[in-house]
């Protein structure tokens, strides 16, 4: 089986699970841009509760989560009065897990907003202090003033409909790996239907099940089982992100795989492609050479190396033309006269001198 995988071509960007990025047609939104405060949203205000309102930034799809669903979300939170941002899970690059109906007291307003959202939905929530950090606020982490109304920018990545509301921390190792694997398979099926947005959400949720805190506890066969799920998800994400021209993020996912498997050919190949697109030609060349070492007959790697060589050649020619324009053409050197020509010139000079002497003497005599 391993030999068959090594023989698969890389130019189609197909990972171990048959996912081909070239078929992608949906575009997933980028993480929110850094700003001084919450985004300005013009959409209609929906009243969810007398203390909670919602404005949709981007529509989601499918069903809404029910009570005891395990939801995976990214969010940023501001104290409305001071505009102080006190939490940002996008910055931490780790989605938050929240079981509806079992959330902490200070997250009741956030949970109410999430329960009204669909997978992939991106929204702005306004939550009154009564359903947030309350009358006293919080002076540890996060730091929230007393009686502070809260603004959340939230994305519901996806959710699991689990009747018992079982959180990741309550699952056995086999259950967590199994849940992540189901998410990966769901993502692959969605990808084959060209639903890239939904597929990426499934991969992201699968990766969330395989978080650093969980992986740190694993060793032996359990770690191998977890990596067999986690690494393909990172590779699939990288393939999608290259297609979407989000090259920095693609490099990050490939690098995560390479920390576990430094000789992973597909991770090296895809990171090389992303680096080449960013103009990091030396780093890209290094990745492609490492990939070719493990797959010497792969045609895609050869094409990428030739493309880099042509790019370097074109850049050299361009720089050569620029420098030529700066310094200008070399001045043409006049050919030195032949010896016979020199004698003629000397003879003419002497005749001219004699004529002038003769005129001066004649003028003096007169």
Taking only the tens place, the pLDDT of each residue in 256-281 is 999 999 999 999 999 999 999 999 99
- Tokens 């998800």 belong to which residue? 233
- Tokens 């259950």 belong to which residue? 175
Domains and CATH numbers, the chain: 41-167 (3.10.50.40)
Taking only the tens place, the pLDDT of each residue in 298-354 is 999 999 999 999 888 877 777 777 766 665 565 565 565 555 666 777 777 777 777
Q: What is the dihedral of CA 77, 79, 85, 90, to 10 degrees?
A: 0
Cα–Cα distance measured from residue 208 to residue 314, given in angstroms and rounded to the nearest whole number: 44
In this structure, are residues 261 and 285 in contact, taking their beta carbons and an 8 Å threshold?
A: no
Taking only the tens place, the pLDDT of each residue in 209-242 is 888 878 888 889 999 999 999 999 999 988 888 8
What is the widest separation between alpha-carbon atoms in the chain? 137
Cα–Cα distance measured from residue 37 to residue 256, given in angstroms and rounded to the nearest whole number: 31
Taking only the tens place, the pLDDT of each residue in 148-174 is 999 999 999 988 876 555 677 788 899
pLDDT, position 15:
47
What is the overall mean pLDDT for the chain?
82
The vertex-180 CA angle with 176 and 186, nearest 5°, equals 145
Which position has the higher pLDDT, 296 or 19?
296
Going by DSSP bridges, is the β-strand pair 70-79/150-160 parallel, antiparallel, or unpaired?
Answer: antiparallel
Predicted confidence band at 28 (pLDDT cuts at 50, 70, 90)?
very low
Taking only the tens place, the pLDDT of each residue in 64-113 is 998 888 898 999 999 999 999 999 988 876 788 888 988 999 999 999 99
Cα–Cα distance measured from residue 201 to residue 217, given in angstroms and rounded to the nearest whole number: 25
- Tokens 């997978």 belong to which residue? 119
Q: Looking at residues 181-193, what average pLDDT do you find?
A: 85
pLDDT at residue 366 greater than cutoff 50: yes
Cα–Cα distance measured from residue 148 to residue 42, given in angstroms and rounded to the nearest whole number: 23
């Amino acid at each position: 089986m391993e030999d068959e995988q090594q023989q698969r071509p890389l130019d189609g960007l197909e990972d171990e699970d048959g996912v081909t990025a070239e078929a992608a047609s949906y575009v997933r939104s980028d993480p929110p841009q850094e700003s001084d405060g919450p985004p300005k949203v013009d959409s209609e205000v929906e009243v969810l509760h007398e203390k909670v309102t919602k404005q949709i930034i981007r529509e989601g799809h499918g069903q809404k989560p029910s009570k005891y669903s395990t939801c995976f979300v990214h969010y940023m939170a501001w104290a409305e009065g001071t505009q102080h941002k006190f939490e940002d899970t996008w910055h931490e690059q780790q989605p938050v897990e929240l079981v509806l109906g079992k959330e902490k007291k200070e997250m009741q307003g956030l949970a109410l907003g999430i329960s009204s959202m669909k997978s992939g939905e991106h929204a702005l929530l306004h939550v009154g202090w009564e359903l947030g950090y309350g009358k006293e606020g919080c002076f540890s982490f996060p730091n929230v003033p007393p009686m502070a109304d809260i603004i959340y920018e939230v994305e519901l990545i996806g959710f699991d409909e689990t009747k018992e509301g079982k959180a990741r921390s309550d699952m056995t190792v086999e259950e967590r790996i199994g849940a992540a694997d189901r998410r990966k398979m769901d993502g692959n099926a969605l990808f084959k239907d060209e639903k890239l947005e939904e597929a990426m959400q499934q991969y992201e949720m699968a990766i969330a099940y395989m978080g650093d805190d969980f992986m740190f506890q694993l060793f032996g066969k359990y770690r191998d089982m977890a990596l067999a799920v986690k690494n393909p998800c990172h590779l699939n994400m990288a393939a999608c992100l290259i297609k979407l021209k989000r090259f920095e993020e693609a490099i990050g996912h490939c690098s995560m795989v390479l920390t576990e498997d430094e000789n992973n050919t597909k991770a090296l190949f895809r990171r090389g492609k992303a680096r080449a697109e960013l103009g990091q030609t030396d780093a890209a060349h290094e990745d492609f050479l490492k990939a070719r070492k493990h797959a010497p007959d792969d045609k895609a790697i050869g094409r990428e190396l030739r493309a880099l060589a042509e790019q370097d050649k074109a850049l050299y020619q361009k720089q050569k033309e620029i420098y030529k324009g700066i310094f200008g053409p070399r001045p043409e050197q006049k050919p030195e006269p032949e010896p016979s020509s020199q004698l003629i010139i000397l003879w003419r000079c002497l005749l001219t001198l004699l004529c002038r002497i003769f005129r001066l003497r004649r003028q003096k005599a007169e």
